[in-house]
Chain A
């Protein structure tokens, strides 16, 4: 199942001009745990998808509200010449297309 179909909220936004944060919120603890346990959901895979150094990616969890946050460096800083998403609000893909293997 795709991450996009499992999450209740799947969004991205700038966290300052040099980083983007992707929020994945779930409506059941099962789905939340399933995503976190999936070997596909890791910084190496995300680094590959976003062509970025995995060491610069952080995955943070927020159990209380069943939310996972992924923080990524931006390829180009917000609004700079080669940027194509000033607010960073459409950067949840390609991650959202990730197949979660149970």
Chain B
């Protein structure tokens, strides 16, 4: 068994970028593998629902372009997790297409394992019958929505990636998987303790986010031993300190003392963080408490409607003082004219930036602002309905009268022509649940050239 292994987390998210110098410095040492996570639910349900990536293909191509010739030449396996952002088949295929493009441009070929994680509507129906458990504060699953999810996926753990590694591929393109699976699979496969491997992976998946200065857009080097691991940014402008690494355990986590993965609970309460140099930190004491029962997290987004918005600014103090009256006048006028959609089917929202758009919890401000940014949003079942609603709302808002109005030619300063924008489909996360039904994900081996 190896005494240690070393890997590089390319960056916090594939497509966010990394310094070429970081890659160069990292490659000066022997690496067992390179990993990069591409997934997040943070940008909201649209990306899973629509099958589109929140990082653009040109960004992903740049990040892969620098590294693919290197992994080929040095025979370092590359693991990409939650490919395309949300990890459904459409996302995975978009990343495969980019790899194909780079392979073609460089006359290279890559033995690639592809692991899809899509779920069928039949599976969701079966799971909805007593095998779905809310997680992370999600409400109960509504079985009626089982057939209405776009691109539902399961988030698999280390198992399928270990399977893929055994087949000796050069690249693994994984569908939706746990962030930790990208970095913990290889070490667990090689016999390293799972608790340490998963904790190191949890830190590594964010790239240099645990460093000072923080950088999701830079790399992190991890060296794993059997009783501890070390982290260090390969970019000399950054450093890791015990505080910066310990603090990272808090990020986006409900509990800093533990986190949960399909493999079990990773207990950090006895963790030690020590400085080994100016920029390298040693971590020890992370333990895995294996799960009693295997569960898998499922994600799915349901289509709610289509969005259209208009954006304008308001400077006139009387108009700012009478925003409530303007809003109710607009609502009334839209209700009266919108014969193409029933009132129960659409929503109209007024976001008053400068006043209370970000948080209305505080109540109105003591002093009225000099300017207010107004976003009016309509959501309706069909795109053309949302666009027509916003057309009505915009023209009415521009001309709406109110007591004491002096600027009788118009209430709004539109920065753009056209003033209205289509926001596309609106989704919401309706599946964010654990299931105890065992799932299998089989790597498919392909030659990409």
Cβ contact of A91, chosen from B247, B347, B359, B379, cutoff 8 A: B359
Chain A interface bracket (under 10, 10 to 19, 20 to 34, 35 or more):
35 or more
Name B321-337 residues within 8 Å CB distance of A: none
Interface string of A81-102 (1 = CB under 8 A from B): 1111111001101100100000
Candidate in B45, B255, B361, B429 with the most chain A CB atoms within 10 angstroms = B361
B28 at the interface (CB under 8 A from A): no
Known: A78-B41, A81-B347. A21 touches B362 (CB 8 A): no
B351 contact set on A, CB distance < 8 A: 84
A78 to B49 CA separation, bound complex (whole angstroms): 13
Name B355-374 residues within 8 Å CB distance of A: 357-359, 361-362
Cβ contact of A78, chosen from B45, B246, B349, B362, cutoff 8 A: B45
Q: Assess whether A17 is in contact with B256, with CB atoms less than 8 Å apart.
A: no
Interface SS majority for chain A: loop
Name B397-424 residues within 8 Å CB distance of A: none
Q: Assess whether A67 is in contact with B250, with CB atoms less than 8 Å apart.
A: yes
- What's the A-B contact tally at a CB cutoff of 8 Å? 116
A13 to B254 CA separation, bound complex (whole angstroms): 10
A67 to B247 CA separation, bound complex (whole angstroms): 9
Interface SS majority for chain B: loop
Known: A65-B247, A80-B428, A94-B362. A15 touches B252 (CB 8 A): yes
A50 contact set on B, CB distance < 8 A: 361
Q: Assess whether A62 is in contact with B45, with CB atoms less than 8 Å apart.
A: no
Q: Assess whether B45 is in contact with A17, with CB atoms less than 8 Å apart.
A: yes
- How many of chain B's residues have a CB under 8 angstroms from any CB in A? 38
A58 contact set on B, CB distance < 8 A: 254
B252 contact set on A, CB distance < 8 A: 13-15, 21
A54 to B352 CA separation, bound complex (whole angstroms): 29
B20 at the interface (CB under 8 A from A): no
A64 to B243 CA separation, bound complex (whole angstroms): 9
B43 at the interface (CB under 8 A from A): yes
Q: Assess whether A62 is in contact with B254, with CB atoms less than 8 Å apart.
A: no
Cβ contact of B362, chosen from A80, A82, A93, cutoff 8 A: A93
B245 to chain A, nearest CB (A): 10
A16 at the interface (CB under 8 A from B): yes
A69 at the interface (CB under 8 A from B): yes
B250 contact set on A, CB distance < 8 A: 21, 23, 62, 65, 67, 69
Q: Assess whether B357 is in contact with A79, with CB atoms less than 8 Å apart.
A: no
Q: Assess whether A73 is in contact with B137, with CB atoms less than 8 Å apart.
A: yes
A90 to B428 CA separation, bound complex (whole angstroms): 20
Cβ contact of B256, chosen from A19, A60, A81, cutoff 8 A: A60
A70 to chain B, nearest CB (A): 10
Name B13-48 residues within 8 Å CB distance of A: 41-46
Q: Assess whether B136 is in contact with A80, with CB atoms less than 8 Å apart.
A: no
A79 to B351 CA separation, bound complex (whole angstroms): 15
Interface string of A38-68 (1 = CB under 8 A from B): 0000000000011100001010101011010
B305 to chain A, nearest CB (A): 8
B123 at the interface (CB under 8 A from A): no
Interface string of A6-39 (1 = CB under 8 A from B): 0000000111111101010100000000000000
Q: Assess whether B361 is in contact with A94, with CB atoms less than 8 Å apart.
A: yes
A15 to B349 CA separation, bound complex (whole angstroms): 26
Cβ contact of B429, chosen from A21, A67, A77, cutoff 8 A: A77
Give the nearest-CB partner of B375 in chain A.
Answer: A84
Cβ contact of B137, chosen from A19, A62, A81, A87, cutoff 8 A: A19
A15 contact set on B, CB distance < 8 A: 136, 252-254
A58 to B254 CA separation, bound complex (whole angstroms): 9
Cβ contact of B138, chosen from A18, A23, A85, A90, cutoff 8 A: A18
A21 to B432 CA separation, bound complex (whole angstroms): 18
Binding site for A on B (CB under 8 A): 41-46, 135-139, 243, 246-247, 250-257, 304-305, 347, 349, 351, 357-359, 361-362, 379, 426-429, 432
Q: List 23 A-B contacts (CB under 8 A).
A: A14-B252, A15-B136, A15-B253, A18-B138, A19-B136, A21-B252, A49-B361, A65-B243, A65-B250, A67-B247, A71-B254, A71-B255, A77-B45, A77-B138, A79-B428, A80-B304, A80-B427, A84-B357, A84-B358, A87-B43, A90-B358, A90-B359, A94-B359
Binding site for B on A (CB under 8 A): 13-19, 21, 23, 25, 49-51, 56, 58, 60, 62, 64-65, 67, 69, 71, 73-74, 77-87, 90-91, 93-94, 97
- Top 4 A-B residue pairs of the complex, sorted by shortest distance between their CB atoms: A79-B44, A16-B136, A18-B137, A80-B428
